[in-house]
Chain A
Amino acid sequence: GAVVSQHPSWVICKSGTSVKIECRSLDFQATTMFWYRQFPKQSLMLMATSNEGSKATYEQGVEKDKFLINHASLTLSTLTVTSAHPEDSSFYICSARKTRTGGETQYFGPGTRLLVL
Chain B
Amino acid sequence: DAKTTQPTSMDCAEGRAANLPCNHSTISGNEYVYWYRQIHSQGPQYIIHGLKNNETNEMASLIITEDRKSSTLILPHATLRDTAVYYCIVVNSGGSNYKLTFGKGTLLTVNP
Q: Which residues of A line the B interface, CB within 8 A?
A: 1, 4, 6, 32, 34, 36, 43-46, 49, 91, 93, 95, 97, 99, 102-111, 113
A44 neighbours in B (Cβ, 8 Å): 38, 44, 102
Q: Does chain A have a CB within 8 A of B2?
A: no
B16 neighbours in A (Cβ, 8 Å): none
Q: Are A103 and B49 in contact (CB under 8 A)?
A: yes
Q: Are B104 and A43 in contact (CB under 8 A)?
A: yes
A77, B1: Cα distance in complex, Å: 26
A105 neighbours in B (Cβ, 8 Å): 34, 46, 49
B41 neighbours in A (Cβ, 8 Å): 91, 111, 113
- Interface size class on chain B is 20 to 34
Q: Are A110 and B43 in contact (CB under 8 A)?
A: yes
B38 neighbours in A (Cβ, 8 Å): 44
Instruction: Classify the interface of chain A: helix, strand, loop or mixed.
Output: strand
Give the shortest distance, in Å, between A22 (CB) and chain B (any CB): 14
Q: Are A103 and B43 in contact (CB under 8 A)?
A: no
The 8 Å CB contact of B103, one of A43, A97, A103, A113, is A43
Asked if A103 meets B94 with Cβ closer than 8 Å, knowing A43-B104, A46-B99, A46-B100, the reply is yes
B94 neighbours in A (Cβ, 8 Å): 99, 103-104
B50 neighbours in A (Cβ, 8 Å): 103
Instruction: Considering the complex, give the chain B residue whose CB is closest to the CB of A43.
Output: B102
Instruction: Considering the complex, give the chain A residue whose CB is closest to the CB of B45.
Output: A108
Instruction: Considering the complex, give the chain B residue whose CB is closest to the CB of A45.
Output: B102
Q: Are A111 and B99 in contact (CB under 8 A)?
A: no
Closest 4 CB pairs of A and B: A108-B43, A103-B93, A44-B102, A43-B102
Question: Quick one: which of B48-101 are within 8 Å of A by CB?
Answer: 49-51, 87, 93-94, 98-101
Question: Quick one: which of B13-52 are within 8 Å of A by CB?
Answer: 32, 34, 36, 38, 41-46, 49-51
